[in-house]
Amino acid sequence: MQAAFAAALRRDPRDWYAHLELAVVASEEGRRPAALRELEAARRLDPLEPVIGAVESDVRAGRRVSAARLDQIFLARIGL
């Protein structure tokens, strides 16, 4: 997953979602500083995206964010 999203950023460095996914990978691996750096990059690219803040809150609280958790956040956002 990390390689795929890193490749996406090489194709389009303005892809906030790729940074978000890389933050999730880093979080799952327990690399909190790397996760926070990726979240900062995502926020710079899309400062109004609420999912970034939700993931950041979890990471700052010391919780690891999984891909499943990210899916839950998106589903809650649309009311599912």
Q: Does the pTM exceed 0.85?
A: yes
CATH topology of domain 2-77: 1.25.40
pLDDT digits (tens, 9 = 90+) for 46-80: 999 999 999 999 999 999 999 998 999 889 888 87
DSSP characters for 10-66?
HH-TT-HHHHHHHHHHHHHTT-HHHHHHHHHHHHHH-TT-HHHHHHHHHHHTTPPPP
User: pLDDT category, 10, cuts 50, 70, 90?
Assistant: very high
- Residue 45's nearest CA partner among 7, 9, 4, 70 is 9
pLDDT at 40: 98
Where in the chain are the domains?
A: 2-77
**Is residue 1 very low, low, confident or very high in pLDDT (cuts 50, 70, 90)?**
confident
